[in-house]
């Protein structure tokens, strides 16, 4: 076991672990990670010392709120290595961010234009594009390899001259498989299409570099990366955002409103109608500032060690079927599996009785479930605060479930 990552010290900065009154082996991090103390502190400080609405306020609290909100935007920009803070749009989460891009692009697309997705997408990165079919947009779907990775060999056949956007997950929320982005970016550039990446799963496990990835849009949620719920981010390349009209309209995103026509503010304000999630954004900015300073190589090494132990243990349990790639290469520490014919919900309930928190269901990825020939799976997902005891409790719990549910 590597000694360079002190899990006990790491956990002390997560209030859930500091306040436990019973054992907990939390392995549902792909759904929601636990919140770091820095986010709690920043939100409490904001709401007790600087609670006001942002923009246009002439009093002290409004000015303090605006400053805190814009500092949070700068924190997100640092974490993503964005070119400028104007590329950061706050939303309520990944789903809202994708719907924002889809809704705005819907005003620009014409019948026959094409959007490319894959069979591996979360519903949030599938349904907004599927819905555009109602106005004549063509949805083209990249198939998968037998392991559940996106089959990049078929990119030339699917990404054609009418393609306007390729929208893919940076990493699967079911298998953890990381998407090979090099051929995706090349295929999009060859036809002048934009690229959107759903980074909801990736951001907890590493810093995505917007200047290196080559995408045009990147989206994620605060609650996936040790931050608060109710806030998310749309990063958009400056010229890509400038092309889009607003999706939601209202206060705060206008230039001038007249009876017959109105003008819109420049990005990012154009896409932040109404009162934004101010306190949540402040909390997210704080936790991303904390993440910037983390020893990422140590954290990755720790997660990889645990994941290897988890995969090896699962393979040794009779009846377990693992979905996705056979090893941990180019994967996040996320694994979905079935235990014989046992229903995933029953398995998760038995494990919960033994203080192991898992996720059971189709994980908002029904096309992917259909590809694998299952209706649902059990999913375990690791974070940097997990340890060997968490993995071993899961493995022992599955052996117990085989006995009590047989």
Just list the catalytic residues: 364
**8 A C-beta contact, residue 143 and residue 155:** no
Place of tokens 């229903």: 343
Residue for token digits 């132990």? Answer: 309
Supply 198's token pair. 């759903």
| Three-state DSSP state, 82 | coil
Q: Which residue do the tokens 């705005």 mark?
A: 104
Structure tokens given for 226: 């040790």
Selection from 283, 288, 294, 291 nearest residue 229 by Cα = 283
Rounded Cα distance, 272 and 99, in Å: 13
CB atoms within 10 A of CB 14: 19
Q: 194 Cβ partners below 8 Å, 6+ apart? A: 164, 165, 166, 188, 216, 217, 240
Six token digits for residue 110: 């014409």
Which residues partner with 257 through β-bridges?
262
Distance CA(344)–CA(148), nearest Å, equals: 20
Strands (E), 144-303: 163-169, 194-198, 217-221, 232-236, 254-257, 262-264
Show Cβ contacts of residue 161 under 8 Å, excluding neighbours closer than 6 positions: 191
List, in sequence order, every residue forming a beta bridge with 116; answer none if it has no partner.
Answer: 140, 166
Encoded tokens for 173: 């929320």
For residue 231, give the 3-state DSSP assignment. coil
What is the Cα gyration radius of the chain?
22
Q: For residue 297, what are the contacts with CB-CB under 8 A and spacing of at least 6?
A: none
Contacts of 56 (CB under 8 A, 6+ apart): 62
């Amino acid at each position: 076991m590597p000694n360079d990552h002190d899990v006990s010290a790491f956990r002390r900065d997560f209030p859930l672990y500091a306040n436990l009154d019973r054992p907990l082996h939390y392995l549902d991090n792909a759904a929601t990670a636990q919140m770091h103390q820095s986010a709690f502190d920043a939100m409490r400080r904001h709401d007790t010392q600087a609670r006001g609405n942002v923009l246009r306020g002439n009093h002290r609290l409004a000015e303090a709120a605006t400053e805190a909100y814009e500092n949070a935007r700068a924190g997100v920009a640092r974490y993503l290595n964005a070119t400028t803070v104007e590329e950061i749009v706050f939303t309520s989460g990944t789903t809202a961010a994708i719907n924002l891009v889809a809704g705005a692009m819907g005003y620009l697309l014409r019948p026959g234009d094409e959007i490319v997705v894959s069979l591996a997408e979360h519903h949030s990165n599938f349904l907004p594009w599927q819905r555009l079919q109602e106005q004549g947009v063509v949805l083209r779907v990249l198939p998968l390899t037998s392991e559940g990775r996106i089959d990049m060999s078929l990119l030339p056949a699917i990404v054609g001259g009418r393609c306007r956007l390729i929208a893919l997950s940076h990493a699967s929320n079911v298998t953890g498989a990381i998407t090979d982005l090099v051929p995706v970016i090349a295929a999009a550039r060859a036809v002048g299409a934009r690229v959107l990446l759903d980074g909801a799963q990736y951001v907890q496990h590493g810093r995505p570099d917007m200047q290196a990835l080559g995408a045009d849009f990147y989206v994620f949620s605060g609650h996936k990366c040790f931050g608060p719920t109710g806030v998310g981010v749309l990063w958009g390349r400056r010229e890509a955002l400038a092309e889009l009209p607003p999706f939601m309209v209202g206060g705060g995103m206008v230039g001038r409103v007249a009876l017959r026509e109105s003008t819109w503010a420049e990005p990012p304000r154009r896409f932040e109608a109404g009162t934004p999630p101010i306190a949540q954004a402040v909390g997210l900015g704080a936790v991303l500032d904390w993440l910037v300073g983390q020893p990422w190589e140590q954290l990755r090494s720790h997660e990889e060690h645990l994941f290897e132990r988890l995969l090896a243990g699962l393979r040794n349990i009779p009846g377990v079927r693992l979905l996705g790639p056979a090893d941990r290469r180019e994967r996040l520490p996320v694994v979905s599996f079935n235990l014989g014919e046992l229903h995933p919900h029953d398995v998760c309930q038995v494990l919960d009785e033994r203080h192991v928190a898992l996720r059971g269901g189709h994980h908002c990825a029904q096309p992917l479930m259909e590809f694998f020939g299952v209706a649902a799976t059990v999913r375990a997902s690791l974070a940097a605060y997990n340890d060997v005891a968490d993995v071993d409790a899961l493995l022992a719990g599955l052996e117990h479930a085989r006995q009590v549910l047989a």
